[in-house]
Amino acid sequence: MTTTLEDRHRQISDHISKSIIPLINTMDMSLVAALTTTDRAARTTTALAWRGRTRADAVRFTHAADIAERMGDLFTTASERTRLTVDHLDLIWSRIHRHLVTVPASLVSDVRTSLDTAVEPAVSDWLDDHPGTGTVNFADLRDHLDLILADIAPGLTNATARAEREAANLTRRGNVLTLTCGDTIMAAGIDNALTDRAKNILTDLRKIRDNNPESTPELPTRAEVKAQVLLDLLGDNPDSLAVTVNLFRTTTDGVHGTGTAYSPDIGWLDVDTADRLESAARTSPNGRIRTLPDSPDDLTVTEAYKFPVLVQIAAEARDGHCRFPGCTVPATRCEKDHIENSPHTDPTSDGATSIDNLENLCPEHHRAKTLGIWKAASPDRGLTIHWTGPLGEKYTTYASGPTAPYIRLRAETQSEEPEPEDPPRQE
């Protein structure tokens, strides 16, 4: 039997995904378990000595050990299934402790215990509801944690948001300025605005280079252009940046939002922040509010190539982020791709321009699919996407935006409804 190079690559890929990566996660979890046997005050220095890497790496392992101690059942699940890494445990620690900053010192221990008691079973149930063999998507876990915390402690999450909005600061060390935006929304909005303007500038520079390849110097990086854009705004160019925030929120009357809200750029937001942003959208001359239909079936299907705006927004609310395995680029920053190719680009295909055939992909992963390096297919109208890689490796991603649970529940309910009985025959 002859083994081709492609077969060999596929075997290597399977071995890495099924054996090597789980083994690495298992070894890391063993180290975390060992850290739990050491004195709390010595864990960071112990991890630094054991790992021989950076202090930031040692802190991650210290946080993971803290979660392992506080959430024993979840840690056991993480160790056995190898779907959560040290980074995931560190994320759980960080999302909980973020909300302890405003708590009086005398109450921190009790509040932390209450949050742990709610978070541990909720994350375990979430893992059961999202089966798979790959590592859990980082953004999905972050969003789920934030939603849990907003549901069980709305007052606390509101207080955290208010405190963070008031915590902005700017520091300088030599020629390095560090701006800490207390408000994550503002930070994401500024970065997105700078990125958009930098992309436009780089596009113009590439055209100049293509026309004059010999006389044009090497192009700057996107980060360098973003910095220059910001300096221009603060110095010679007084133009202001327009900050755009996309927000998804439940409505009971078809007009006004209620409860928490979701932003693909940030994740779940507390009620106070959601109210503030919705109010700004209603009063700003550039603000715009759209109401999505209750069912995807009510969205337009078009013969055109481009997806209608409301369909794009509905897909962003369903997906949350790029649907490629492991990618966390917000859906609002993604390109809109036909899962099954459109006849406009592939005459041999008949993929519809509809919500059922739309997936959000960042430019990098959209290009990889367009080139045929990765292939995608969905068995359930975009909720689940099965990916096949260049070496035959297989991954599955699930829609995880704020509307995905409702769409999934509606689909399950409809599939369980009995078919109407035939009318009685008339003799």
The token pair at 203 is 């596009």
Measured distance CA(145)–CA(101) in Å, rounded: 17
Judge residue 264's burial from the number of C-beta atoms within 10 Å of its C-beta, 0-12 exposed, 13-18 middle, 19 or more buried: buried
* Same structural domain, 155 and 21: yes
Q: What is the pLDDT of residue 289?
A: 84
Query: Does the pTM exceed 0.85?
Result: no
The fraction of the chain above a pLDDT of 90, given in percent, is: 42
Q: If you average pLDDT over each of 17-31, 252-266, 406-420, which comes out highest?
A: 17-31
Helix (H) or strand (E) holding 116: helix 108-129
Determine how many CB atoms are found less than 10 A away from the CB of residue 107. Answer: 11
Helix (H, G, I), strand (E, B) or coil at 155: helix
304 in a structural domain? yes
Residue 11 identity: Q
Residue 313 predicted with pLDDT over 90: yes
Residue 347: give the domain boundaries: 296-415
* Same structural domain, 19 and 148: yes
Q: How far is CA 220 from the centre of its chain?
A: 28
* Same structural domain, 144 and 23: yes
* Same structural domain, 190 and 226: yes
Q: How far is CA 92 from the centre of its chain?
A: 15
* Same structural domain, 263 and 349: no
pLDDT band for position 118 (50/70/90)?
A: very high
Listed range (170-179, 301-310, 382-391) with the worst mean pLDDT: 170-179
Q: What is the pLDDT of residue 37?
A: 92
Q: What are the angstrom distances between the C-alpha of 23 and each of 73, 81, 85, 155?
A: 20, 11, 11, 41
Instruction: Write the pLDDT tens digit of every residue in 5-46.
Output: 777 777 887 788 788 888 999 999 999 999 999 888 888 888
Helix (H) or strand (E) holding 91: helix 86-97
Question: What's the mean pLDDT when you consider all of the chain?
Answer: 87
352 in a structural domain? yes
For residue 69, which of 57, 61, 58 has the smallest C-alpha distance?
A: 61
* Same structural domain, 71 and 208: no
* Same structural domain, 395 and 300: yes
Q: What is the pLDDT of residue 2?
A: 56
Residue 418 predicted with pLDDT over 80: no
Measured distance CA(384)–CA(180) in Å, rounded: 37
Instruction: Write the pLDDT tens digit of every residue in 366-394.
Output: 999 999 889 999 999 999 999 988 778 78
Q: What is the pLDDT of residue 64?
A: 97
132 in a structural domain? yes
DSSP string, 13-45: HHHIIIIIHHHHHHHHHHHHHHHTTS-GGGHHH
Q: Total domain count for the chain?
A: 4
Q: Phi and psi of 222, rounded to 5°?
A: -65, -40
42 in a structural domain? yes
205 in a structural domain? yes
Measured distance CA(65)–CA(59) in Å, rounded: 10
341 in a structural domain? yes
Q: Are 321 and 264 in contact (CB under 8 A)?
A: yes
pLDDT band for position 53 (50/70/90)?
A: confident
The token pair at 312 is 């794009």
Residue 426 predicted with pLDDT over 70: no
* Same structural domain, 319 and 273: no
* Same structural domain, 364 and 331: yes
pLDDT band for position 244 (50/70/90)?
A: low
For residue 186, which of 244, 258, 253 has the smallest C-alpha distance?
A: 244
The token pair at 88 is 């995931």
Q: What is the pLDDT of residue 359?
A: 97
pLDDT band for position 180 (50/70/90)?
A: confident
* Same structural domain, 128 and 209: no
The token pair at 371 is 């080139």
pLDDT band for position 238 (50/70/90)?
A: very low
* Same structural domain, 38 and 91: yes
* Same structural domain, 140 and 21: yes
Sheet containing strand 375-377, strands side by side: 375-377, 384-388, 394-398
Instruction: Write the pLDDT tens digit of every residue in 320-354.
Output: 999 998 888 899 989 999 999 999 999 999 999 99
Measured distance CA(245)–CA(314) in Å, rounded: 16
213 in a structural domain? yes
DSSP 409: H
290 in a structural domain? no
